[in-house]
Amino acid sequence: MGEVSPCDLCGGSDFQGLYTSVDRLFNVPGMFAIARCRACGLVSQYPLPSPAKIKSFYPNVYYPDPKPPDIKPSHRLALQLYLGYPGAPAMVPARDRLSAWFRARRILAKHPFLIPYIPGGRILDVGCGAGTFLLMMQSLGWNVAGVEMNAVTAEKLNTKFSANVFGGDFLDAPFETHSFDVIFMSHMLEHVLSPSRILDKARSLLKPGGQIWIAVPNFSSVEAALFRSYWYGLDLPRHIHQFTPGTLRAYLAKAGFKRVRIRWEKSTGGITHSLANLGVRLPRFLEKILIKETLATLLHKLRLSDRMVAGALLETLCLIHAVP
């Protein structure tokens, strides 16, 4: 047996094997295993793949052409009136104000990433893909920058939208230290070999008091335990690490982040994908009635939605007090 890489979170080298899976998305050949570090609990692919091998895990990754964001005027008004976004009209009828207030609550519940506006704020989207979030934030008044491994997509975002996207590895991105108010990483951290190095760099780029938003699949969710190797969030071999609230908090503490808050995404979409991995495909209307309406409503009523099904994804909001 070859040399085993130490745990990225704690440096430990004692691992407990969990289970194996084939690639259920792109059919990359091979059998892939995950193991848990006995010292800190981090779950990682075992053995860790080499960087060259990781490239082979993305055979057909294709992004659609970036397109301008489509923000409904009523949503824009809600953000302007109640989340500090610039450009609010001077006169707004009381009735529109009231509906905008309700809409702002709903937007925040549904899209917690739509954080209150920071005047002159700079936001960095690491792993921005075709720029859906980046271009929306730009259109809402943020000063944006991004990082995208796909250099062609990065180039398109720059020429068409002046989006300031670095095409390549985040660790090589030449951004100035302490220059961002917000760093956003949606479903990116589980794909990298060393989340430690990514979080260290992110922290060095944040201004004092800046914030990082991370979304990753939650390995401690009921969905993960139930579906095991069929769980949609496993996505072997592209997901190198699997996080739980505990290991993510440990990672953030190690990188010097304070005031960590964890929110659970209220979505049941993952179940549909996990069922599809098992070969179960419900007709759209049944899926909507059974999973989205019945199951989601029931779990919500029982106040279980955060911990149960919807806990398949977790998002964290971390605020730094100060940067030394």
| Comparison of 173 and 250: residue with beta carbon closer to Zn ion | 250
Nearest approach, Cβ of residue 12 and Zn ion (Å)? 4
Nearest approach, Cβ of residue 254 and Zn ion (Å)? 11
Helix (H, G, I), strand (E, B) or coil at 128: coil
| Comparison of 37 and 236: residue with beta carbon closer to Zn ion | 37
Nearest approach, Cβ of residue 239 and Zn ion (Å)? 17
| Comparison of 7 and 163: residue with beta carbon closer to Zn ion | 7
| Comparison of 37 and 118: residue with beta carbon closer to Zn ion | 37
Query: Using the rule CB under 5 A, is 7 a contact of Zn ion?
Result: yes
Q: Site residues for Zn ion, window 31-50 (CB under 5 A)? A: 37, 39-40, 42
Nearest approach, Cβ of residue 4 and Zn ion (Å)? 12
| Comparison of 9 and 309: residue with beta carbon closer to Zn ion | 9
| Comparison of 43 and 126: residue with beta carbon closer to Zn ion | 43
Do the beta carbons of residue 316 and residue 213 sit within 8 Å? yes
Task: Bin 84: left if φ > 0, else alpha if -120 < ψ < 50, else beta.
Answer: left
CA distance 9 to 198: 12
Nearest approach, Cβ of residue 95 and Zn ion (Å)? 56
Nearest approach, Cβ of residue 7 and Zn ion (Å)? 3
Q: Report residue 242: phi and psi, to 5°.
A: -120, 135
Q: Which stretch binds Zn ion (CB under 5 A): 1-9, 139-147, 271-279, 290-298?
A: 1-9
Distance from chain centroid for Cα 322: 24
**With the C-alpha atoms ordered 100, 101, 105, 111, is the resulting torsion angle positive or negative?**
positive
CA distance 71 to 28: 37
CA distance 157 to 138: 12
Query: Using the rule CB under 5 A, is 130 a contact of Zn ion?
Result: no
Which of 12, 84, 245, 256 contacts Zn ion by CB under 5 A?
Answer: 12
Pairing of strands 143-148, 122-126: parallel
Closest Cα partner for 217 from 193, 195, 239? Answer: 239
Q: Report residue 214: phi and psi, to 5°.
A: -130, 135
Nearest approach, Cβ of residue 189 and Zn ion (Å)? 16
| Comparison of 37 and 299: residue with beta carbon closer to Zn ion | 37
Query: Using the rule CB under 5 A, is 10 a contact of Zn ion?
Result: yes
- For the record, the structure tokens of 51 come out as 């960087």
Q: List beta partners, residue 17.
A: 35
246 contact partners, CB below 8 Å, separation of at least 6:
41, 220
129 contact partners, CB below 8 Å, separation of at least 6:
63, 148, 150, 153
| Comparison of 15 and 166: residue with beta carbon closer to Zn ion | 15
Size of the residue set binding Zn ion (CB under 5 A):
8
Report CA-CA distances (Å) from 3 to 21, 42, 54, 174, 295: 22, 19, 18, 33, 46
Q: Which chain residues interact with Zn ion by CB under 5 A?
A: 7, 9-10, 12, 37, 39-40, 42
